[in-house]
């Protein structure tokens, strides 16, 4: 669904929900249906392996297993008609809710006026002729940031007109037609600019000249009907997902049972671990295995201190990395370090793990390999030599193993934040990719565009 348009100049907000499946999007919907089926099948295999592991007496599954399970679980959920109906009922108390006949973005593109502001995460909405102002939410540090896009300013910067942008949406890859291989958004903008140098053309003429210049026999008829005329074709029957949903729900039930069995196999070792070895003043009573109130307070305090340390270190790490990327992209120096941000290092530690450890312990670790040491030294130089050493942490001996565990778990989440930084700085970074790795970088740019589109859809 999308929010828009504000039909009485910010006094009335309309929430538009997707409607029925249409013929224009039939190929895309079938493709996504098949992909969803593969996710359900994979989830079934994961449930079976988890159940077998519990029956074999295993106490826990590896971190990578749970990361895969979490990814499959999120992808297995669908926004069906029942969810849309419940959402509409909940929103109608405060907003006007419209259910589109087909796609919400097409409905908005059809009825929007010059004074309307459209809020949507779908970039295609911005290309419709009637949409003049759009607010696009993007995730940053776990929160949504709302970016305001003014079409007149965007077109001026692109050196194109409003009709050109509509044609650009048709040919640059969308839900209705793929782009010509090698001709994604960035390349197409340059082609359109060359065509515009020869004069102003209608949408139909611009599309024709583009296809001639690309020596392509594609016609983009379906996408053209949608973006030119807001015509989605006929309404189709909904896809039957009943068998897949039944299979998914059975997998979830098996996963819950297996998880309980794994915990039962561990007994109460999870609690005892928090008081053992490196950071306890006394050992547990091995005979009783009971946790006293005092010991529970120690556990709670140490967990709280560890979480506080990691959260503070994370904020420092994210800000430092933003500064690092800004500096590299603006100065065009040390561009090779951008590649190191994504490399795994010694002992499988990635950039974020090594950076967090450096912040917490006050120095670059001896075990940091050559792939990350140069970039960590550059981060360290941003603050000055004494910054890390002067950070004050809770006076408690919890660094091992508690901080190690937390750092490993928070790393994946920071990677997501970093990915959004990459999305936001894509034009500059794509130029740097070509500079860093040469001709192979030109091929990689198209892959980067596809990755960004996929990441935005996931959001």
Same domain, 7 and 143: yes
- Residue 80 sits in a domain whose CATH number is 3.40.50
Does residue 428 carry a pLDDT above 70? no
User: If you average pLDDT over residues 223-236, what whole number do you get?
Assistant: 95
Same domain, 339 and 253: no
Same domain, 125 and 164: no
Same domain, 44 and 84: yes
Is 68 within the bounds of a domain? Answer: yes
Alpha carbon distance 279, 434 (integer Å): 49
Same domain, 85 and 213: no
Q: What is the pLDDT of residues 379-405, one digit of tens each?
A: 888 777 677 767 666 655 544 455 666
Same domain, 263 and 117: yes
Burial classification of residue 305, based on how many CB atoms lie within 10 Å of its CB (0-12 exposed, 13-18 middle, 19 or more buried): middle
DSSP string of 263-329, one letter each residue:
HHHHTTHHHHHTTSGGG-SS---TTT-PPPHHHHHHHHHHHHHHHHHHHHHHHHHHHHHHHHHHHHH
Is 399 within the bounds of a domain? Answer: yes
Alpha carbon distance 310, 414 (integer Å): 12
Same domain, 145 and 186: no
- Identify the band that residue 430 occupies on the pLDDT scale cut at 50, 70 and 90: low
Q: Is 24 helix (H, G, I), strand (E, B) or coil?
A: helix
Is 410 within the bounds of a domain? Answer: yes
Is 451 within the bounds of a domain? Answer: no
Is 430 within the bounds of a domain? Answer: no
Does residue 208 carry a pLDDT above 70? yes
pLDDT of residue 295: 63
Same domain, 70 and 110: yes
Same domain, 256 and 319: no
Alpha carbon distance 43, 49 (integer Å): 10
Same domain, 262 and 278: no
Q: Write phi, then psi, for 169 (nearest 5 degrees).
A: -65, -35
Is 169 within the bounds of a domain? Answer: yes
Domain residue limits at 222: 159-231
- Tell me the C-alpha to C-alpha distance, in Å, between residue 129 and each of 132, 138, 168, 185, 279: 8, 23, 12, 18, 64
Which residue from 414, 220, 199 is spatially nearest to 322, judged by alpha carbons? 414
6-20, 110-124, 193-207, 395-409: least confidently modelled range: 395-409
């Amino acid at each position: 669904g999308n929010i828009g348009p504000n039909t009485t100049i910010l006094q009335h907000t309309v929430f538009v929900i997707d409607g029925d499946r249409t013929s224009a999007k039939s190929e895309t919907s079938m493709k996504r249906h098949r992909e969803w089926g593969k996710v359900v099948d994979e989830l079934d295999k994961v449930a079976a392996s988890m159940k077998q592991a519990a029956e074999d007496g295993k106490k826990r599954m590896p971190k990578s297993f749970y990361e895969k399970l979490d990814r499959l679980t999120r992808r297995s959920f669908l926004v069906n008609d029942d969810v849309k109906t419940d959402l509409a009922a909940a929103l109608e108390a405060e907003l006007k809710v419209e259910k589109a006949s087909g796609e919400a973005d097409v409905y908005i593109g059809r009825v929007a006026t010059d004074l309307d502001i459209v809020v949507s995460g779908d970039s295609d909405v911005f290309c419709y002729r009637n949409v003049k102002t759009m607010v696009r939410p993007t995730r940053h540090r776990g929160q949504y940031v709302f970016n305001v896009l003014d079409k007149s300013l965007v077109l001026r910067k692109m050196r194109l007109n409003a009709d050109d942008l509509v044609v650009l949406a048709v040919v640059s890859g969308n839900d209705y037609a793929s782009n010509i291989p090698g001709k994604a958004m960035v390349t197409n903008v340059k082609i359109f600019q060359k065509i515009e140098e020869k004069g102003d053309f209608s949408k139909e003429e611009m599309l024709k000249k583009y296809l001639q210049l690309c020596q392509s026999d594609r016609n983009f008829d379906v996408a053209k009907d949608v973006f030119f005329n807001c015509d989605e074709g006929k309404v189709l029957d909904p896809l039957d997902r009943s068998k897949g949903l039944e299979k998914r729900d059975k997998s979830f039930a098996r996963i819950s049972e297996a998880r309980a069995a794994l915990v039962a196999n561990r007994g109460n070792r999870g609690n005892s671990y928090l008081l053992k070895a490196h950071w306890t003043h006394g050992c547990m009573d091995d005979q009783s295995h009971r946790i006293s109130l005092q010991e529970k307070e120690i556990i709670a305090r140490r967990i709280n201190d560890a979480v506080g340390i990691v959260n503070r270190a994370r904020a420092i790490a994210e800000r430092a990395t933003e500064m690092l990327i800004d500096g590299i992209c603006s100065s065009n120096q040390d561009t090779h370090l951008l590649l190191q941000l994504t490399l795994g290092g010694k002992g499988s530690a990635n950039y974020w793990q090594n950076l967090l450890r450096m912040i917490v312990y006050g120095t670059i670790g001896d075990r940091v390999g050559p792939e990350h040491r140069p970039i960590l030294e550059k981060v360290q130089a941003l603050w000055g030599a004494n910054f890390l050493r002067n950070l004050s942490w809770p006076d408690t001996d919890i660094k091992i193993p508690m901080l190690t565990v937390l750092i490993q778990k928070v790393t994946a989440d920071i990677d997501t934040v970093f990915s959004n930084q990459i999305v936001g700085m894509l034009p500059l970074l794509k130029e740097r990719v070509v500079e860093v790795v040469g001709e192979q970088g030109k091929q990689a740019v198209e892959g980067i565009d596809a990755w960004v589109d996929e990441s935005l859809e996931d959001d």
